[in-house]
Structure 1
Amino acid sequence: MSTKAPAPKPVHPLARKLRFARILNVVLGAVAAFLLVVVIALSVPSAGQAPAAGAPQTPSADAAGEGAGGSGSDSEIATRDPDDPLAIGDVDAPVVLVEWADFRCPFCAVVTNETLPTIFEEYVDKGLVRYEFRDVAFFGEESIDAAVAARAAGEQGKFPEYLEAVFAAAPEKGHPDMPREKLIGFATEAGVPDLAKFEQDLDRADLRDAVLASTAEAQKLGVTSVPFFVAGDQAIAGAQPIENFRALIDEQLAAAGE
C-alpha cells in the first residue's frame, strides 16, 4: 500500500526574495573575505624588507567587517529603528517579527486579539522578538484615517494601546466604519495624553503620506493581503493558529543561535 508524500507548503514570493537575499549575503561575504586575504597578502612585505613608501596598510578588523555580509536578510525587511513608534520590544532582539495590517481588516483583529498577546508574553516580553508594525490601507479612505490616527497615538507613546483599542472593538466580520469621532474615542480609551494635539494630527498631510508610502511599499514587496508576517527569511499569511507562529519564530531563533 503506497502513501503519497505530503504536498509541499506554498512559499510566498516575498519569502523567496528574502531567502535569495540571505544566500546573496553569504556569497558576498565569502567574496569579501577572499579579497581581504588578497589585500593582506599584497600589503605584507617580504621577510627583512621594510614597507615601501605609500604601500597600502593592512586593513583593520573593523574595516574588514564592513560590508562583509551585512546583518543578513533581517535587514531586508526589519528596520530595527530605535525611534520607530510602531515597534514594540527590544531593538536588539535576535528575531524581528514584521506585520502588515489594515485597521479595518477583521482577520487582523483576530490575530491582534487572540494571537499577539501570546507572542508578546512568550517572546517579546522576554527580549527574544521585536515586533514591527507596518500599516496598509487596502480598504479605502477610512483605512487611511485609522492608520493616521494610530501613528498620531504612537507619537505620544500610545501605539500599543491604540492598536489594542481599535481591534478590540472590531466586529466578527466585515470592515468597520472609522469616522473621526470614533478614532478620537479610541484615543481616549488608549490614554493618549494630549487629545487636542491628537485631533490636530488627524489632519497632518505627512502622516497620511507615510501611510500611503507604507501601503505602496507593501504592494511592491508582494504583500497583497493582510495580515501578513515576515520573520527572517520566512513569511506567513493570514490569521493562522498560534502553533504556526511559534514554529516560525522558533525556527528563526534557532537560526540566530538562540
Structure 2
Amino acid sequence: MTASSSPSASSSRSRRTYAAGAVLVAAATTAVLVLLPGGSDSRGGGARGSAAAGSASAVPAPADEGLLALARRDASDALAVGRADAPVVMIEYSDFQCPFCGRFARETKPELLRSYVDEGILRIEWRNFPVFGEESQRAALAGWAAGRQDRFWEFHDVVYGESRERNSGAFSTDRLVAMAREAGVADIDRFRSDMSSEEAREAVARDRDEGYGLGVSSTPAFLVNGEPILGAQPTDAFRSAVEAAARAVEE
C-alpha cells in the first residue's frame, strides 16, 4: 500500500477537504445577496436542488491551504488559460446556461485576460458546474469535447456570445454541434463521440462534485488563490482580488 493510499493519508485529505469546504460554505452563508443592475433573481433546478443565477457580494476570508490546493496547474488542461506557474489562480465554477456567468464572460473576463493572464500574473481554471438541468449537462459535455480539440475557449465565447433562454432547446445536440463548428472545432465526428463518452461524463462529474463538496450552489462562483468570490461581481472586484493575491505571494 502506498503512502498516498494509506488510512492516515486518506484521513488527512478528508480533514483538509472538510476544512476547505467549511471556508467556502461560511462565505456563501454570510454573503449578502445583491442584484446586479438589469439582472433578475431567477432560480433554476439543478442536479441537487435549486441554484441561484443571481450574484452575491465577495466575502473576505483567509486563504485556506485546502482551497489553494484545488488549483490543478496542469499545463495540458484545455479548460484553463494562463501559465501553469502563474502566481495567482482563479478557479471558476460556471454553467453555460447561467446568465450571470455570461455577463462575467462578456464583461469581465476579457479585461482579466488582457491585464493579468497575458502578463503572466493570472491563470484561470474553468470547472463545469451544470446546475440547470439536462441542457446544462449537455453543454458542459460539449465544452469538454471542444477542449479535446483545443477549442474550449472559442466554444466558451460562442456560447456566451449571446443570451439564450434557459432549457428552451438552445442546447440541443444539433445546436451544440453548430456552436462547435462556429468555434472552429475541425473534427465534428470526433466532437460528437467525445461529447457522448464516459470520459466526458467523468470529467464533468469531477468538476461538479468538487464544487458541491465546497458548498457551491450558485453560479458563477470563484476562488482567487483560495479567496471566495460569489457572483458576477463588477470587474473592479476581480481586479482588486487578483492584485491583492499577487501582492500576498510576493510578500
Instruction: Classify the TM-score, shorter chain.
Output: 0.7 to 0.9
Aligned to 1:248: 241
One-letter code aligned to 2:143: A
Q: Does 1:129 align with 2:122?
A: yes
* TM-score normalized by the length of structure 2: 0.73
Q: Is the 8 A contact 2:135 2:167 kept in 1?
A: no
Q: CA deviation at 1:214?
A: 1.7
Aligned to 2:10: none
Cα deviation, 1:63-122, whole Å, max 9, x if unaligned, reads xxxxxxxxx8522x2110112110001111110011000011111000001110000000
Aligned to 2:62: 19
Q: Which runs of 5+ in 1 are unaligned?
A: 1-9, 23-71
Select which of 59, 68, 71 maps to 1:74: 68
Q: Is the 8 A contact 2:102 2:160 kept in 1?
A: yes
Cα deviation, 1:122-149, whole Å, max 9, x if unaligned, reads 0001110001000011011111110111
Q: CA deviation at 1:233?
A: 2.9
Aligned to 2:179: 186
1:95-134 equivalences in 2 (<5 Å): 95-134=88-127
Select which of 130, 133, 143 maps to 2:136: 143
Q: In 2, Cα distance between the equivalents of 1:231 and 1:224?
A: 18
Q: Which runs of 5+ in 2 are unaligned?
A: 1-25, 31-57
Aligned to 2:4: none
Q: CA deviation at 1:11?
A: 3.2
Q: In 2, Cα distance between the equivalents of 1:128 and 1:12?
A: 27
One-letter code aligned to 1:204: S
Q: CA deviation at 1:194?
A: 1.1
Q: Is the 8 A contact 1:94 1:256 kept in 2?
A: yes
* TM-score normalized by the length of structure 1: 0.71
Identity %, equivalent residues? 38
Cα deviation, 1:194-235, whole Å, max 9, x if unaligned, reads 112112222112202221232122111111100011011311
Which is strand-richer, 1 or 2?
A: 2
Aligned to 1:239: 232
Q: Is the 8 A contact 1:105 1:175 kept in 2?
A: no
Q: Is the 8 A contact 2:91 2:126 kept in 1?
A: yes
Query: How many residues align structurally?
Result: 197
Q: CA deviation at 1:175?
A: 5.2
Q: Does 1:202 align with 2:195?
A: yes
Aligned partner of residue 27 in structure 2, secondary structure:
coil
Select which of 139, 143, 161 maps to 2:154: 161
Q: In 1, Cα distance between the equivalents of 2:160 and 2:167?
A: 11
Aligned to 1:69: none
Structure 1's consecutive aligned runs of 4 or more residues displaced over 6 angstroms after TM superposition are 13-16
Select which of 185, 202, 225 maps to 2:218: 225
Flag the structure with larger Rg: 1
